[in-house]
Amino acid sequence: MTDSDYQPLYTNFSSRTLPTVGLLLAWATGICVSAARGVEIKIAGQAAVLMETRGGKILWQRNQNLYLAPDSTTKILTALVVLERSNAGDIVTIPAEAARATGGTVRLQTGERLSVEQLLYGMMLGSANDAAIALAIHAGGSVEKFVGLMNDKARSLGALRSSFRNPTGLPQKGHVTTARDLAMITRAALANVEFRKIVAAKNLPWKSAKWQDELKNSNVLLKTYHGAIGIKTGQTSEAGFCLVAAAARGEESFIAVILKSTEKSGWQDAKKLLDHGFKNFAAK
């Protein structure tokens, strides 16, 4: 079996997830005996992972170690590093470098002052690249130093196949991750209470020097999937549609990572994986 196969991964299950007879047969034959758990999941994404959040176990994967561009899902790691090195109430003076950002922005103006918390909402709900750059310079001293911190953090989490070149996710040569690495980074981010609060917000009023409006979370699962707790989308012509989604019901929670998909298919891919987790792996 190779990374290119669709693979359910079922190792080290306790007696609550397989009947005793089934365990004995599985040990004897090396075959998973649960038809429900062995069902193939057809997804459009080029790479995908389903992870159980509490233990970090990969329950299903397709091409989990394939190097792909992550686009704005990069901002999950950016937010995590910022939250570990800053206080939400810290005030950031927007540098000119941030005000020059391209792509999605919240139209930040050089010299205006906003809190770290405001900028995190701008970055995660509005996918604002100017907010990401301002936060990176605030937390790291410069974008270059902050990117070093991002890669150090990724390695410390065991995300060893990733190479981040910027805090925004904009296309850049060598800026790659994998579905497995992104799931590991997301699991660590979800352990942060402030991060969970931000990514679960469906919308937020926004006011800065040049722009006033409402930020709307692009994660439609927050409105359409029972137990959804948010995370992040991303989309460029190079990366395709990328989605990191998570849902919690009771004590169980799962993370679904979809890379290189289409927008229409990506949402369905995530629902299929999350459904698979709650149906076959949640405690009864």
Catalytic residue among 4, 14, 42, 75: 75
**Which pLDDT score is estimated for 237?**
84
Between CA 58 and CA 70 the distance in angstroms is: 19
pTM of the model: 0.86
Q: Collect all residues with Cβ–Cβ distance below 8 Å to 50 and sequence separation of at least 6.
A: 58, 59, 60, 61, 254, 255, 256, 273, 274, 276, 277
Neighbours of 209 (CB within 10 A): 15
Considering the domain boundaries, does residue 18 fall inside one? no
Neighbours of 110 (CB within 10 A): 13
Number of folded domains that form the chain: 1
Across the chain, mean pLDDT equals 88
Between CA 97 and CA 93 the distance in angstroms is: 11
Catalytic residue among 86, 127, 162, 208: 127
Using 50, 70 and 90 to split pLDDT, how confident is the model at 31? Answer: very low
Catalytic residue among 4, 15, 57, 72: 72
Considering the domain boundaries, does residue 1 fall inside one? no
Between CA 263 and CA 28 the distance in angstroms is: 43
Between CA 162 and CA 108 the distance in angstroms is: 29
Considering the domain boundaries, does residue 9 fall inside one? no
**Which pLDDT score is estimated for 234?**
95
Using 50, 70 and 90 to split pLDDT, how confident is the model at 39? Answer: low
**Which pLDDT score is estimated for 28?**
29
Considering the domain boundaries, does residue 221 fall inside one? yes
Q: Which of 23-37, 74-88, 229-243 has the lowest mean pLDDT?
A: 23-37
Mean per-residue pLDDT, 16-45: 45
> Residue 148: which domain range?
41-280
The reply to whether 127 belongs to the active site is yes
Considering the domain boundaries, does residue 17 fall inside one? no
Considering the domain boundaries, does residue 182 fall inside one? yes
Between CA 7 and CA 10 the distance in angstroms is: 9
Question: Helix, strand or coil for residue 267?
Answer: helix
Considering the domain boundaries, does residue 3 fall inside one? no
Give start and end residues of each alpha helix (H) in 56-161.
74-85, 96-99, 116-125, 129-140, 143-156
Reply yes or no on whether the pLDDT at 16 is more than 80: no
- Evaluate whether 181 touches 160 at the Cβ level (below 8 Å): yes
The reply to whether 237 belongs to the active site is no
Q: Collect all residues with Cβ–Cβ distance below 8 Å to 7 and sequence separation of at least 6.
A: 1, 60, 61, 62
**Which pLDDT score is estimated for 40?**
82
CA-based Rg of the chain, rounded to a whole angstrom? 19
The reply to whether 34 belongs to the active site is no
Question: Helix, strand or coil for residue 256?
Answer: strand
Considering the domain boundaries, does residue 108 fall inside one? yes
Between CA 44 and CA 1 the distance in angstroms is: 20
172: CATH: 3.40.710.10
Which structure tokens are listed for 202?
């469906």
